[in-house]
Amino acid sequence: MTISRTLIAAAATFLVLCTTAPAALAQAYPTKPVRVVVPFPAGGTTDILARHVSQKLTERLGQQFVVDNKAGAGGNIGTEAVAKSDPDGYTIMMGTIGTHSINISLYSKLSYDPVKDFAPISLVAMVANVLVVHPSVPAKNVQEFIALAKSQPGKLNFGTPGNGTSGHLSAELFKSMTGTDMIHVPYRGSGPMLTDLLGGNVQFTFDNLPSALPHIRSGALRALGVTTPKRWPSTPDIPTIAEQGLPDYSATAWFAMYAPAKTPPAIVNKLSDEIDTILKTPEMKAQFEQQGADPVGGKPQVLADLMKTEIEKWAKAVKASGARID
């Protein structure tokens, strides 16, 4: 009888520990700095949004959330590094539509699985892409640009933040829908690509609006159209590509926070709740809107559901465009 009572007491204690340990883990987290990997160079939209969110997480949680730019291979190098990191909550990343939806179809050999190797934390922002041209390009609208491209097949060069980025696929979709032949020049992020575009080394780009917007506002680049079905709220003066003769054209970029798979759910949920709170503050809403981004937030499942839809959508787009990277 005594042994049985001892076993029952031990089992009860074990159950209490099992139910209270996750809560205690989440309450204590973080106890040291957290690395936030950005798989693109500084200065691009992924970097800008990651730094905004990281600063607020630092303020709210009392530990440094340190951005680590680990660029290369269309975001694959930094993303793979996170996939292989310890799932302890101290390495997370700002992923993109490219790293977590497009690349799985675009690259014949991908060193990570965007679904199996990651724990979704939170959708951070939706962002329009924008078709912008160097001032030397004479086209003033999308129809004039299409006519120019058709009159000079293989002559216009377009830069993108890298293979597999939403800018790359936005351009490939545009090419396939317009029957134009233009040359892709991939870079290691928006920063170096925009530097070359401003210098006239490439003639145009499809880039995330937050990266391109300062140059549009300064007059250094000319915006021809946004890639969303409706005009973007923060730039209502820029028409959509869809309303300029391509009614079925649509390509919206998104950015989201991820942890390695098997990161404790208590930590994932704590980060998700914190990010959701941050994105709902008037300060962050205004900051994002000023830069052409729409803050979203939401539970991890919201991001998981979006990924499923987006992976299927872009698999079809990649196949239709013929784009493939070995």
Tens-digit pLDDT profile for residues 119-128: 999 999 999 9
Percentage of residues in the chain with pLDDT exceeding 70? 92
Tens-digit pLDDT profile for residues 288-311: 988 889 999 999 999 999 999 999
Is residue 176 scored above 50 in pLDDT?
yes
Q: Which residue has the higher pLDDT, 43 or 149?
A: 149
Identity of residue 11: A
Could you say which of 244, 265, 299 is where a domain stops? Answer: 244
Query: Which pLDDT score is estimated for 2?
Result: 55
- 249 lies in some domain: no
Q: What is the mean pLDDT of residues 97-115?
A: 94
Mean pLDDT value across the chain: 92
- 175 lies in some domain: yes
Range of weakest confidence among 61-65, 231-235, 268-272: 231-235
**Do 113 and 149 share a domain, yes or no?**
no
**Do 61 and 206 share a domain, yes or no?**
no
Closest to 82 (Cα-Cα) out of 95, 94, 70, 91: 91
CA dihedral 216, 220, 221, 226 (to 10 degrees): 0
**Do 300 and 268 share a domain, yes or no?**
yes
Range of weakest confidence among 53-57, 218-222, 232-236: 232-236
Other beta carbons within 10 Å of 42: 16
How many domains does the chain divide into? 2
Report the distance separating Cα 219 and Cα 203, nearest Å.
15
**Do 66 and 203 share a domain, yes or no?**
no
Other beta carbons within 10 Å of 181: 13
Tens-digit pLDDT profile for residues 136-153: 999 999 999 999 999 999
**Do 71 and 218 share a domain, yes or no?**
no
- Give how far Cα 206 sits from Cα of 1, 55, 140, 277, 297, Å: 75, 28, 16, 31, 25
pLDDT band at 164 (very low <50, low <70, confident <90, very high): confident
**Do 63 and 110 share a domain, yes or no?**
yes
Other beta carbons within 10 Å of 158: 25
Q: Which residue has the higher pLDDT, 4 or 228?
A: 228
Could you say which of 212, 244, 276 is where a domain stops? Answer: 244
Percentage of residues in the chain with pLDDT exceeding 90? 77
Runs of H (alpha helix) within 39-188: 45-61, 76-83, 97, 103-106, 142-151, 166-178
Question: Residue 311 is inside which H or E element, if any?
Answer: helix 300-321
Here the CATH number for the domain that contains residue 32 is: 3.40.190.150
Could you say which of 211, 226, 244 is where a domain stops? Answer: 244
- 1 lies in some domain: no
* Predicted model pTM: 0.82
- 326 lies in some domain: no
For the chain, give percent helix, strand, coil, nearest 5: 50, 20, 30
Runs of H (alpha helix) within 152-296: 166-178, 190-198, 209-218, 265-279, 282-290
Q: What is the mean pLDDT of residues 30-44?
A: 95
Here the CATH number for the domain that contains residue 211 is: 3.40.190.10
C-beta separation of 75 from 103 below 8 A:
yes
Query: Which pLDDT score is estimated for 7?
Result: 66
**Do 114 and 261 share a domain, yes or no?**
yes
**Do 17 and 66 share a domain, yes or no?**
yes
Domain hosting 283: range is 10-127+254-321
Query: Which pLDDT score is estimated for 19?
Result: 60
Report the distance separating Cα 25 and Cα 8, nearest Å.
26
